[in-house]
């Protein structure tokens, strides 16, 4: 619960800073990138509460919070993907790709109506991260942009975090794989935030 709340607090801070920055620079990509941090914060807050207050929530209360978590994190994934597309493409190509990203989010949302396993959240988020990684690697190879370097680093750290979560690796009975996942993910968020401050709309 505590590490979840730490992720939530960091997410809110990064969301606000990126939102202010995107308004000052008048870039669309920053607004979408900031939205990913807000959605992450909501998911972490709901997830932490569901972990910490399970015995008080009842089955219905727990389910509502858990569904909030899985859908908020999917929304974060969607926002990151749209931001990466805006930073890479323009015009009709961008419209088509954003539509496909929306379809991916819609299919996930339908599927998760009957599922509660967090592994599916990792699969959705992970697939988005792979796409964003490929787009930023391509951008870095062509333009050597500083934003791409930070984002690539953040994604790689996020991959390590997800592997920790899925492995069940535990350092201590009071600091399990979920706690370690959150701590490592906070570093990934910091790197992604730094990259987001440097992102520009394509063209």
Grade residue 110 by pLDDT with cuts at 50, 70 and 90.
Answer: very high
At 95 the pLDDT is: 96
pLDDT at 173 over 70: no
Check pLDDT > 90 for residue 57.
no
Mean pLDDT across the chain, nearest whole number? 89
Give this prediction's pTM: 0.88
Distance, in Å, from the CA atom of 25 to the CA atom of 32, rounded to the nearest integer, reads 14
The whole-number average pLDDT for the span 59-70 is: 88
Percentage of the chain with pLDDT > 90? 61
Residue 172 pLDDT > 70, yes or no?
no
pLDDT at 24 over 80: yes
| Mean pLDDT, range 127-150, rounded to an integer | 93
Mean pLDDT computed over 82-96: 96
Contact 48, 5 (CB under 8 A): yes
Are the CB atoms for 159 and 184 separated by under 8 Å? no
Q: What share of the chain is helix, strand, coil (3-state, %, to 5)?
A: 85, 0, 15
The pLDDT score that the predictor gives to residue 169 is 59
Counting other chains too, the contacts that 108-111 makes at CB distance below 8 Å and 24 or more residues apart are: 108/74, 109/71, 109/74
The mean per-residue pLDDT over the stretch 8-32 comes to 94
124 compared with 169, residue with greater pLDDT = 124
CA atoms of 179 and 186, how far apart (whole Å): 11
């Amino acid at each position: 619960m505590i590490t979840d709340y730490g992720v939530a607090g960091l997410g809110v801070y990064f969301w606000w800073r990126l939102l202010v920055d995107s308004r000052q620079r008048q870039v669309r990509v920053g607004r979408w990138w900031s939205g990913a941090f807000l959605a992450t914060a909501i998911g972490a807050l709901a997830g932490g509460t569901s972990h910490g207050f399970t015995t008080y929530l009842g089955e219905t209360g727990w389910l509502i919070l858990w569904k909030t978590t899985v859908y908020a994190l999917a929304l974060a994934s969607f926002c990151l993907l749209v931001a990466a597309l805006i930073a890479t493409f323009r015009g009709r190509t961008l419209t088509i790709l954003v539509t496909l990203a929306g379809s991916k989010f819609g299919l996930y949302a339908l599927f998760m109506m009957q599922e509660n396993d967090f592994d599916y959240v990792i699969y959705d988020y992970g697939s988005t991260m792979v796409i964003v990684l490929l787009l930023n690697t391509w951008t870095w190879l062509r333009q050597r942009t500083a934003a791409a370097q930070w984002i690539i680093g953040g994604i790689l750290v996020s991959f390590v975090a997800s592997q920790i979560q899925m492995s069940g690796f535990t350092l201590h009975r009071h600091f399990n794989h979920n706690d370690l996942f959150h701590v490592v993910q906070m570093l990934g968020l910091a790197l992604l935030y730094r990259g987001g401050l440097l992102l520009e709309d394509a063209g």
